[in-house]
Amino acid sequence: MGAAVHSGNRRGTKIVVKDDAEEKKFNNNTKDLLDIMAFYSRVSGSVGVITLQNPPVNALSAAVRQGIVDTMHRALSEPEVKSVVICGQNGKFCGGADIREFRANMRGPPLVPMIHLIEAAEKPVVAAIEGVALGGGLELALGCHYRIAHSKARLGLPEVTLGLLPGAGGTQRLPRLIGVPAALELITTGRHATAAEALQLGIVDEVTDHSAVDAAVKFAQSVAGKSLDARRISTYPCPRSPDLAEIFEKAMQEVRRSARGAIAPVTCVQAVHASVTLPYAKGMERERELFSTLFTSGQAHALQYYFFAQRAVSRWSTPSGARWDTSKPRPVHKAAVIGLGTMGRGITVSLAQAGLSVVAVETQEKQLLEAKQAVSGMLERSAKRRGAPLAHDKIKYSCSIQAVADVDLVIEAVFEDMALKKTIFQQLSGICKPGTFLCTNTSGLDIDELASQTQSPELVVGMHFFAPAHVMKLLEVVYGPRSSPEALATAMEMGKKMGKVSVAVGNCRGFVGNRMLKPYLEQAFFLLEEGATPEQVDQVLEEFGFAMGVFKVSDLSGLDVGWKVRKADGLVVPGSTGKSARIRGGSRYSPLGDLLCEQGRFGQKTGRGWYQYDKPGGRVAKPDPWLHGFLEEYRARHGLVARRIDHQEMLERCLYALINEGFQILQDGIAAGPEDIDVIYVLGYGWPRHRGGPMFYAGLVGLDKVLERLEHYHQVYPNVSGLKPCSLIRKLAASSSPPIHRWREFIQKPRSQL
């Protein structure tokens, strides 16, 4: 074919007709492509190829949509073109609608008519799916007449995770294509399917291990001129079965159970239901109506904020100016874990699964053997679940700390005991080769104090894993005043390798997560003193969306954990009576947790805590009459008169105390921005994702409202410091409560030596 090149840059479109040989030359000249959003070429004379170009994921921005419409018209109008292929640049078909556009003015051609234009085309249109076809990307592919996928591609409709539903025909086309049960499952979970699964379900027509674009072009040539009557999914009847009513009822029950107040999953079920009860056009109207209600909801706003927050935390910075883009991580090939208790075992599994060689150390032979068995079991179960190869041979077990001499990074994971950790850091400093990073898995101890035990404090950072460490996605990476940017960058990178979301935080008691937990727990205890029961407080928090209320969590993680910390802090004064029993350092204190521990009530593990369980280790929490009697007796002893506390007060006091501490953390420069705190709370503490995180929630409620309620409660309880509004929230509220992305401008940068 001759190389006739016509190029015009109409509203985000470049239309080029060129031959195959020229393709290479053109691809090398990527500078030309920067402002192009859909690129048209003709291959082998008769196939029009439309390439979406919007790095990094070819999201369907206004310009891309315009480009698709323009190039489709072009392909349909050229008599030489007999069929069309739609693909994406750089091996990614399309990551869906451009999420950033949702909060801006929607411009450009709408997605739904654009997809109808493709489906109605009289020339066959083939989607060449490489990388991802997600959300609007898959909906675009469903509008095509055929779909060819690369074997490594992932397909799905994850809109529900953004508080939306697949509003570009996805709820109407997918059930018509693969049936209601499979469509319901994909749409309500938002999970990504592999190409193999997509083939099995009938979402794609062919899977290839080679170039999906080449395969699609070949395919497009083979179907040129064939009837498209049976290829337009919108014309398919929705597959029916006698048990459809039951299927929908079950799906609704399941989403209501698991969604914990999230509205999108429920609305997704309603939209799919329309595909069965209404003809296609009416179903599309219903889809749009339901989409509109979600689109403007606070939950969609929160989930979309959270989507970007989770990505933003990888672009970390510290008050001294160290940054993710100027600090290079050092490669780590071999790591060690010291201490193979519950946390150490999980960390060992995570490291081995990330492909690292691991030296796992436990000083007692018996414990080492037990740990080895436990780790092997965890690896086997995990390999089975993930369909991944076993990582046993990555791990060497040893009773001797000397075995870590040649590793690049050590993670110490012994008990939360400063004296013990100090001894280990002194030893490590002498044993490890120069340059080895020394990390501690602590949930709140002073990183700097540990660093001072070593010859190279700049190599010391905290890596706060969450239990179970091989499952939980969150990692708090804690930099001390002497940690080097390289050490921080390396720990952040290690977290990423282990599949974690790493958040860099400064060094202070409890770091971010546990520091904020303290005033939250404190309020929960005070509420019990004033008349509430654990069940009432938990119910309020669970209705808000937490997976578990604060007292159930406390029973699960063990009341003795906090007790040990309070004892170490000199807060536990056994047998104290009178007013002093409830005051520490001039502030209100509740000894309720200490009193329960003195009774041996440590939670689930002892079968008794804030609730009762049928046996030690039992999981089902039941209200405990003994506890109710104990609370009554406690109140009487301390002259406290029980009152009826309404839901609003319980929620406000717990959440606003936690949020207030979050603002203090921002003010202190311990977290770089509100996104860091929100990601920590959603991933590590069960904060409902559809509420964005505590800081986002504060913005949604209104900073002036949060401030006003804190002021009110602080007036009522002047000896509770956690309720005293911090100056940052005052400053923000006084500046007309700017949007959350502007809060950083109001945070004074504290000094740091990093």
Ligand X SMILES: CCCCCCCCCCCCC/C=C/C(=O)SCCNC(=O)CCNC(=O)[C@H](O)C(C)(C)COP(=O)(O)OP(=O)(O)OC[C@H]1O[C@@H](n2cnc3c(N)ncnc32)[C@H](O)[C@@H]1OP(=O)(O)O
For tokens 């940690």, what's the residue? 483
The least distance separating ligand X from the CB of residue 637, rounded to whole angstroms, comes to: 55
Should residue 97 be labelled a site residue for ligand X when binding is judged by CB under 6 A?
yes
List the strands of the sheet with 460-465, edge to edge.
395-398, 357-361, 334-338, 409-412, 437-440, 460-465, 474-479, 501-506
Should residue 674 be labelled a site residue for ligand X when binding is judged by CB under 6 A?
no
The least distance separating ligand X from the CB of residue 162, rounded to whole angstroms, comes to: 5
Q: Which residue among the candidates 139, 362, 476, 661 is catalytic per the annotation?
A: 139
Strands 47-52 and 38-43: antiparallel
Closer CB to ligand X, 308 or 626, in the complex: 308
Query: Rounded to an integer, what distance in angstroms lies between the CA atom of residue 192 and that of residue 160?
Result: 12
Q: Which residue among the candidates 159, 362, 522, 535 is catalytic per the annotation?
A: 159
The least distance separating ligand X from the CB of residue 748, rounded to whole angstroms, comes to: 26
- What is the gyration radius of the CA atoms in the chain, in angstroms? 29
Should residue 300 be labelled a site residue for ligand X when binding is judged by CB under 6 A?
no
- Answer for which of 12, 48, 124, 135 binds ligand X (CB under 6 A) is 135
What ranges in 54-135 are assigned the alpha helix state H? 62-77, 111-120
The least distance separating ligand X from the CB of residue 716, rounded to whole angstroms, comes to: 41
The least distance separating ligand X from the CB of residue 33, rounded to whole angstroms, comes to: 18
Residue 754 Cα to chain centre, angstroms: 28
Residue 386 Cα to chain centre, angstroms: 19
Residue 205's closest CA among 287, 148, 250, 256? 148
Closer CB to ligand X, 43 or 59, in the complex: 59
Instruction: Spell 654-670 as b/e; 16+ CB within 10 A means b.
Output: bbbbbbbbbbbbbbbbb
Should residue 49 be labelled a site residue for ligand X when binding is judged by CB under 6 A?
no
- Answer for which of 12, 48, 95, 265 binds ligand X (CB under 6 A) is 95
Which helix (H) or strand (E) is 137 found in, with range? helix 136-143
Amino acid present at 429: S
Closer CB to ligand X, 308 or 415, in the complex: 308
Instruction: Spell 632-646 as b/e; 16+ CB within 10 A means b.
Output: eebbeeeebeeeebe
Amino acid present at 282: K
Window of 97-105, 461-469, 500-508, 687-695 that interacts with ligand X by CB under 6 A: 97-105
Residue count at the site for ligand X (CB under 6 A)? 28
Window of 220-228, 292-300, 349-357, 433-441 that interacts with ligand X by CB under 6 A: 292-300
Window of 164-172, 350-358, 556-564, 665-673 that interacts with ligand X by CB under 6 A: 164-172
- Respond yes or no: is residue 159 known to be catalytic: yes
For tokens 């040129």, what's the residue? 224
The least distance separating ligand X from the CB of residue 132, rounded to whole angstroms, comes to: 5
The least distance separating ligand X from the CB of residue 670, rounded to whole angstroms, comes to: 23
Should residue 57 be labelled a site residue for ligand X when binding is judged by CB under 6 A?
yes
Should residue 673 be labelled a site residue for ligand X when binding is judged by CB under 6 A?
no
Should residue 96 be labelled a site residue for ligand X when binding is judged by CB under 6 A?
yes
| Tally of CB atoms within 10 A around 279 | 13
The least distance separating ligand X from the CB of residue 314, rounded to whole angstroms, comes to: 7
Should residue 308 be labelled a site residue for ligand X when binding is judged by CB under 6 A?
yes
Handedness of CA 634, 637, 638, 639 (dihedral sign): positive
- Using CB atoms within 10 Å of the CB of residue 713, give its burial: 0 to 12 exposed, 13 to 18 middle, 19+ buried: buried
Should residue 99 be labelled a site residue for ligand X when binding is judged by CB under 6 A?
yes
Tell me which residues in 142-161 interact with ligand X (CB under 6 A).
158-159
Residue 44's closest CA among 226, 225, 223, 220? 220
Provide the 3-class DSSP secondary structure of residue 410. strand
The least distance separating ligand X from the CB of residue 308, rounded to whole angstroms, comes to: 5
Closer CB to ligand X, 300 or 474, in the complex: 300
Should residue 675 be labelled a site residue for ligand X when binding is judged by CB under 6 A?
no
What ranges in 498-549 are assigned the alpha helix state H? 513-530, 534-544
Window of 52-60, 441-449, 544-552, 665-673 that interacts with ligand X by CB under 6 A: 52-60
Window of 89-97, 226-234, 398-406, 495-503 that interacts with ligand X by CB under 6 A: 89-97
Should residue 56 be labelled a site residue for ligand X when binding is judged by CB under 6 A?
yes
Tell me which residues in 182-211 interact with ligand X (CB under 6 A).
none
- Answer for which of 84, 134, 654, 665 binds ligand X (CB under 6 A) is 134
- Answer for which of 26, 295, 397, 630 binds ligand X (CB under 6 A) is 295
Handedness of CA 205, 208, 212, 217 (dihedral sign): negative
Should residue 59 be labelled a site residue for ligand X when binding is judged by CB under 6 A?
yes
DSSP 147-188: EEEETT-EEE-GGGGGT---TTTHHHHHHHHH-HHHHHHHHH
Strands 587-588 and 13-15: unpaired
User: Within 13 Å of residue 291, how many CA atoms lie on the same side as its CB?
Assistant: 19
Should residue 296 be labelled a site residue for ligand X when binding is judged by CB under 6 A?
yes
- Answer for which of 17, 75, 153, 168 binds ligand X (CB under 6 A) is 168
Should residue 107 be labelled a site residue for ligand X when binding is judged by CB under 6 A?
no
- Answer for which of 6, 10, 25, 100 binds ligand X (CB under 6 A) is 100
Window of 72-80, 290-298, 339-347, 406-414 that interacts with ligand X by CB under 6 A: 290-298
The least distance separating ligand X from the CB of residue 55, rounded to whole angstroms, comes to: 8
CB 436 within 8 A of CB 458: no
- Respond yes or no: is residue 412 known to be catalytic: no
State yes or no: cis peptide before 265, omega within 30 of 0: no
Give the residue closest to ligand X by C-beta: 135
Should residue 115 be labelled a site residue for ligand X when binding is judged by CB under 6 A?
no
Closer CB to ligand X, 115 or 201, in the complex: 115
DSSP 647-677: HHHHHHHHHHHHHHHHHHHHHTTSSSSHHHH
The least distance separating ligand X from the CB of residue 192, rounded to whole angstroms, comes to: 7
Catalytic residues: 139, 159
Residues of this chain that interact with ligand X (CB under 6 A) are 56-57, 59, 95-100, 110-111, 132, 134-136, 158-159, 162, 164, 166-168, 291-292, 295-296, 308, 311
